Amino acid sequence: METNFISVDDFCGHYKVEINFIKSLEEYGLIKTKLIKKTKFINSDDLAGLERHIRLYKDLDINLAGLHAVSLLLNQLEILQKKVDALNNEMNYYRQIH
């Protein structure tokens, strides 16, 4: 599995966000960056979550503490959805054998 990285500078230029916003997200533990030869990079696998943070921040005017809370709730929701899916699969299995 190959990992691709995007420089923070390129990302900020494309999405028209300040580098300080990315630094703040990292301080809150919402994203991780990687330093390679004095340049910060974002893992391309994290882009969807980062785009969601930007939309919440810009469109809904949610501050960084709010982004952190929303992120935690969305993660919990994803975990619960996976559990519901697993239980539904298990129920379907038992319905088929009876």
41: Cβ contacts below 8 Å, ≥ 6 apart: 5, 6, 7, 8, 33, 34, 35
- Averaged pLDDT for residues 69-94: 95
What local confidence, expressed as pLDDT, does residue 2 receive?
56
Output the pTM of the full model: 0.76
Contact between residue 47 and residue 6 where contact means Cβ atoms under 8 Å apart: yes
Contact between residue 57 and residue 21 where contact means Cβ atoms under 8 Å apart: yes
- Averaged pLDDT for residues 62-68: 94
What does the alpha-carbon distance between residue 19 and residue 22 come to, in Å, rounded to a whole number?
Answer: 5
Contact between residue 1 and residue 7 where contact means Cβ atoms under 8 Å apart: no
Domain residue limits, the chain: 5-97
To the question of domain 5-97 being in CATH 1.10.1660.10, the answer is yes
